[in-house]
Structures are given as structure tokens and as C-alpha cells.
Amino acid sequence: MAFWTSRRSLLAGAGGLTASASLAGCANGRIVGFDKARRSLDIANSSEPLSLDPHKASGSWENNILGNMFIGLTTEDGQARPVPGMAERWEVSDDGLTWTFSLRRATWSDGEACDAHDFEYAFRRILNPENLAEYASILYVIKNAQAVNAGELPPERVGVRAIDDLTLEIQVEHPAPYLPQILKHYTAYPVPKHVVEEHGDDWVHPDNIVVNGPFKLLRWWSNYIVHLDRNPSFFDNENVVLEHLYFYPANDVNAAARKVMSREAGWSTRFPSNQVAQLRTALPGFVRVAPYLTVNYFSFNLTRPPFNDVRVRQALAMAYDREFVASQIYKTGERPAYAFVAPGIADYPGTARYRWADTPVEERKREAERLLRAAGFGPNNPLRFAFSHRNTSDNPRVAVVAQNDWRSIAPWVIVELQGVETQVHYANLRAKNFEVGDGGWIADYNDAKTYLYLMETRTGPQNYPGYSNAEYDRLMHESDFVVDAAERAAMMLQAEQLMLDEAPICTSVVINSLNLVHPDLTGFEDNLEDIHRARWFGIKA
């Protein structure tokens, strides 16, 4: 860090202090969170972005902001389905390995052309390990991407090539019909080559940044506000209605709801599930509950006894009463999960289930006891283990239910609960330093693979249970090379069923997305990915 930057920021801080006095006069009116006259929307976003560089972001709350600033080759419609973005159309070669995208003529917000070269530059940049992009693995389907990201090949070898200004060719490692799903993800956004080359990593500073999306960054006040204004040079600017967007990091979910109740925010990306009844009364028309591609599940640590025994795992997975958790702990219609892949995911039948899913839970508990006895446990050899869970939101209450269900199998099942700070919890899971641990998975893209790859041997530390099955790995690997969507899905389905039969995980519930949205804000459509771009928003008169 150069000294001048720090001095500059100190001066800016001091300047802010002086400016505050002069601004005070005009800034004392109350905020209207959804101001129809100003066409502005204040948004209680779930957390603070840690970067506004699409190559360095890694959270859905960052996505909420970034997706309004940048447009990838494809982009989301109101339903979060991939639709043409910067690419007007594309063709796939017969072997499914080469995709050719025809780009629209468009510019960055500084008037420079945003073309295929910016995309080529962006893919090379994010996959170059020197740039420390944490989320580049989403793009590993692109040819050579993983090798480049591991530092084994130079960035120029990434399978993305600008054929001319408006034609981009992407080669993939194996047929990937879900590529348009991935290309709408923020890791696949273009970056302005000319600005990044001039400013380096400082290009995202509000003074330097240029965007190709509907809104541009005006100010980012750490852990307080991100202010975006409409970008008049956006290619579809004529159809954008809103002028200003303000994102607040509402880490406290109750404060987020209060912000909407006091009408200081027009949209909150979440609300406390246990207050849904009161919110429905206090804010008629605001509450939006929708299925979401997120599954909570518990991992058994297969690398140590007793969880290397499938009977123990099945017994515990069986005895856990998902229906109770889904209906009594969560209050917003969450569904019990009897499979790992979230229901509703694209091009996937989703019919794999635990084979005992339809058996009543009391009967399952008796079967669980039989299994545990068969595994050698009993009054003289009690099954004793610790269940570690995250200490956040509803997780501790879910853990108590799980503990109770497992203890009710037999008096000799002894479960100790360990609430752990989230960050530490994931470090423990990764290091296999746990016995049974909870977790959740939000789909990165709308395809079953985003879940199923987690249980592959090659996934390594993030395969929390340490599950390894040659047949599973083979099915997953071979499904990558199947061009026919139905055939591919059938293979993944077979893998999922195989995995569920061995129960390395105990699935818990399918989470819903919870939003509070001003009823006069049009264009906000409930969708599986919980992605809502302000580009589609309008105002009901």
C-alpha cells in the first residue's frame, strides 16, 4: 500500500466530517425506501460485500449488487432463467465442445466498446491464480481452466478466444449443456480491459469503475451503503425504470425487517421466519416465500468409526424427523429433504430418495435401533458422538430436535451438541475434525451437478463426509461426457440414489427464500435461485 493512498483516505475522512455539517441541512427528511417520485429503491441486503470486483466476490449478497452493474454473455430474466445478455445468440458444435457466441454492439459506461476482447481478458484474469479469485472453480468446465487456475498452464491457454470484436469462442472440457447457466454467474462477467490495465485492482474504486450493466457504482461506504445509479449507456437502458439503488448490509435479520416496517426500505432480501405471521399482518402484500435451491444437511465423518459403518449412518438418517423440523422449527413452509439435490432443479427428474422416506418415523426409529444393534451397539456398548452445528439462525434449534430424535432411538444413544462459530465450523468440517456436523448448500448454478460433485472423491476437503465410492465417481465423471440431457440426468440420478443408499449425509430440509417486497414494485418474480435484477423492476402507479 502506497503511503499516499492512506493519506488521501484520511483526508477524505476528514473531508466527510466537514461536509457533514453543510449537508446536514438537506439530509434530514425521512427516507422513503421505495420512492416512486425519485424512482429509488432502498434494499436491505443480507450482508456486506467484501468486494465489488466480480472476480473476487463470493456471496449471494455480492451477486445482488454486481448483477445490476455487469451483464455476462447470458443474464437472468425475472425468473432467473438464462437469457441472452451480451451475447445475442450462440451455436454449439455437434460434439458439444465448442460454443460460439455472437455479441451485441454495446459499450462500457465510459463509451468504450465492450466486446469479445473484454470477455477473453476477463476469463484469463479470473483464472490466473495470481489474481486470487476465490470462486474461479465455477468456470472449471471451460477448457484448461482448472490447469490454468492451478498454475500449470499460462492464462493464455484458457479455452476462450475472441475471434473478432463480436465473436467469442468458448471451448469446454466436456459437453456442458448447462453452460448458459454458468455464464450468467458473476464469475463470467466481462471486465473492462482498458480500465483494469490502467488501474490494476483499484479499477473497482468508484472513481475508476466502468460497467456494462444497467446501474453504475457511485459510492461504497464500508459496512453501511452501496449506492448505484442508472447507467444511461446500458444497451437496454430505455426499459430500465429505477434511477437509484441503495444496498444496506442488514446482518441483523430483525433490523432488516424493521427497516421495511418503517418504510425505509422497499425490499429486504430476508426476514425472520418465526415472525412471518406478524409480518403478514403488519405488511400486507410484502411477504414473499418461494422455493429456493438450498438444502441443509448433516455430514457424517466417514473417516472415523462409528460412521464408517453404513448401518450407523442409515440409522441416524432414518430416525431424524424432517417433517417436524420443516413444519415446527421453520415457519415458512420449508420442505423436508429426503434427497440431496434440491427439488425443481433444471433438467433433472429428482426422483432419488432415501428408500425409507415414506415409512412413518416411529417405525423408522425401531428399524434404526435394529440397525444400531446389528452394528454392535447396545446397552453395554453405547453409541456416543458429538453433533456440531453452526450457532446461527435456526440451526441450534434444529440441532436440539436432531439430538432428541437420535436419543429416542434407544437410551444408549448419547448425543452431545456443540454449537460452533460458523467460520470455525467450516474449518473443522474441512479438516475432518468432527463426528456429525451440519451445513447447507446453495446451488451455484441451476444444475444437479452443483450438489452431486460435492460427494465426489476428487472434491477433497469440501466433500465433508469424506465419501468415496468408485461407482459414484465413475457415474459422475461419465455423465460429464454425455451430450443427451435425459441420459446425463439418468446417470446423475443413479449416482444420487447410490449415494443416498450409503447415507454419507443426513439431509434435513429444503430452505425457502424469504423476501419482503413492496407490493407496488413490479417485476419482482419469485424464483428458485432467488436472483432479482433491478433491470426488470417497475413501479405500479
Partner 1 sequence: MLAQAIRRLIFAVPTLLAIVAAAFVLMHAAPGGPFTKERQMPPEIERRLVEKYGLDLPVEQQLLNYLGDLARGDLGPSMTYKDKDVLDIIAEGAPTSAILGLSAMALALLVGGALGVMAALRQNRAQDYAVMALAIAGVCLPPLVVGPIMQLFFGVQWGLLPSQGLHRDEFGLVYLLLPVVTLALPLIAIVSRLMRASMIEALRSNAIRTARAKGLPEAQVVLRHALPIALLPIVSYAGPALAGVMAGSFVIETVFQLPGVGKQFVLAAQQRDYTLVMGVVLMYSFLIIMLNLAADLLYRVLDPRSRTA
For the segment 204-223, give every residue that binds partner 1 (CB under 8 A): 204-205, 218-219, 221-223
Cα separation of 13 and 205, whole Å? 16
Does 124 interact with partner 1 (rule: CB under 8 A)? no
Cα separation of 260 and 263, whole Å? 5
Q: Minimal distance in Å, beta carbon 16 to partner 1?
A: 5
Does 31 interact with partner 1 (rule: CB under 8 A)? yes
* Contacts of 488 by beta carbon, 8 Å cutoff, 6+ apart: 177, 347, 479, 482
Q: Which stretch binds partner 1 (CB under 8 A): 14-22, 67-75, 103-111, 327-335?
A: 14-22
Sign (positive or negative) of CA dihedral 15, 18, 24, 26: negative
Does 23 interact with partner 1 (rule: CB under 8 A)? yes
Say if strands 40-45 and 267-268 run parallel, antiparallel, or are unpaired: parallel
Q: Minimal distance in Å, beta carbon 487 to partner 1?
A: 29
Q: Which stretch binds partner 1 (CB under 8 A): 189-197, 421-429, 495-503, 519-527?
A: 421-429
* Beta-strand runs (E) in 371-454: 383-390, 413-420, 436-442
Distance of CA 39 to the CA centre of its chain: 29
Cα separation of 494 and 479, whole Å? 10
Interface with partner 1: number of residues (CB under 8 A): 76
Cα separation of 271 and 265, whole Å? 13
For the segment 129-188, give every residue that binds partner 1 (CB under 8 A): 129-130, 132-137, 149-151
Does 227 interact with partner 1 (rule: CB under 8 A)? yes
- Residue of 378, 422, 478, 540 interacting with partner 1 (CB under 8 A): 422
Write the Ramachandran bin of 523: left for phi over 0, alpha for psi from -120 to 50, otherwise beta: left
- Residue of 355, 424, 487, 501 interacting with partner 1 (CB under 8 A): 424
Three-state DSSP class for residue 76: strand
Cα separation of 129 and 152, whole Å? 10
Residue 109 or 294 having the CB closest to partner 1: 294
* Beta-strand runs (E) in 71-152: 74-76, 82-84, 87-92, 98-103
Q: Which stretch binds partner 1 (CB under 8 A): 408-416, 458-466, 504-512, 518-526?
A: 458-466
By C-alpha distance, which of 107, 98, 91 is closest to 190? 107
Does 384 interact with partner 1 (rule: CB under 8 A)? no
Does 225 interact with partner 1 (rule: CB under 8 A)? yes
Residue 138 or 531 having the CB closest to partner 1: 138
- Residue of 110, 112, 169, 202 interacting with partner 1 (CB under 8 A): 202
By C-alpha distance, which of 128, 168, 139, 120 is closest to 445? 139
Helix (H) or strand (E) segment spanning residue 7: helix 3-23
Q: Which stretch binds partner 1 (CB under 8 A): 202-210, 287-295, 344-352, 521-529?
A: 202-210
Sign (positive or negative) of CA dihedral 316, 318, 324, 330: positive
Does 29 interact with partner 1 (rule: CB under 8 A)? yes
Does 93 interact with partner 1 (rule: CB under 8 A)? no
Residue 50 or 400 having the CB closest to partner 1: 50
Does 28 interact with partner 1 (rule: CB under 8 A)? yes
For the segment 298-337, give every residue that binds partner 1 (CB under 8 A): none
Cα separation of 457 and 451, whole Å? 13
Cα separation of 450 and 341, whole Å? 8
> Virtual CA dihedral for 128, 130, 136, 139, nearest 10 degrees?
10
Whether residue 362 contacts residue 324, with contact meaning beta carbons closer than 8 Å, is answered with: no
- Residue of 56, 81, 288, 535 interacting with partner 1 (CB under 8 A): 56
Does 393 interact with partner 1 (rule: CB under 8 A)? no
Cα separation of 107 and 150, whole Å? 33
Residue 218 or 241 having the CB closest to partner 1: 218
Q: Minimal distance in Å, beta carbon 219 to partner 1?
A: 5
Q: Minimal distance in Å, beta carbon 387 to partner 1?
A: 18
Residue 144 or 149 having the CB closest to partner 1: 149
- Residue of 124, 430, 457, 485 interacting with partner 1 (CB under 8 A): 430
For the segment 250-269, give every residue that binds partner 1 (CB under 8 A): 250-252, 254-255, 258-259, 261-262, 264
Does 6 interact with partner 1 (rule: CB under 8 A)? yes
Does 456 interact with partner 1 (rule: CB under 8 A)? no
- Residue of 165, 197, 198, 201 interacting with partner 1 (CB under 8 A): 201
Cα separation of 6 and 160, whole Å? 38
Does 423 interact with partner 1 (rule: CB under 8 A)? yes
- Residue of 462, 468, 494, 497 interacting with partner 1 (CB under 8 A): 462
Whether residue 518 contacts residue 540, with contact meaning beta carbons closer than 8 Å, is answered with: no
The per-residue DSSP string of 218-242 comes to EEEETTTEEEEEE-TTSTTGGG---
- Residue of 95, 197, 363, 421 interacting with partner 1 (CB under 8 A): 421
Q: Minimal distance in Å, beta carbon 160 to partner 1?
A: 18
Inter-axis angle of helices 310-319 and 361-374, nearest 10: 160
Residue 448 or 482 having the CB closest to partner 1: 448
Residue 259 or 311 having the CB closest to partner 1: 259
Residue 411 or 460 having the CB closest to partner 1: 460
- Residue of 41, 45, 48, 253 interacting with partner 1 (CB under 8 A): 48
Omega within 30 of 0 (cis) for the link into 306: yes
Does 4 interact with partner 1 (rule: CB under 8 A)? no
By C-alpha distance, which of 49, 77, 42 is closest to 65? 49
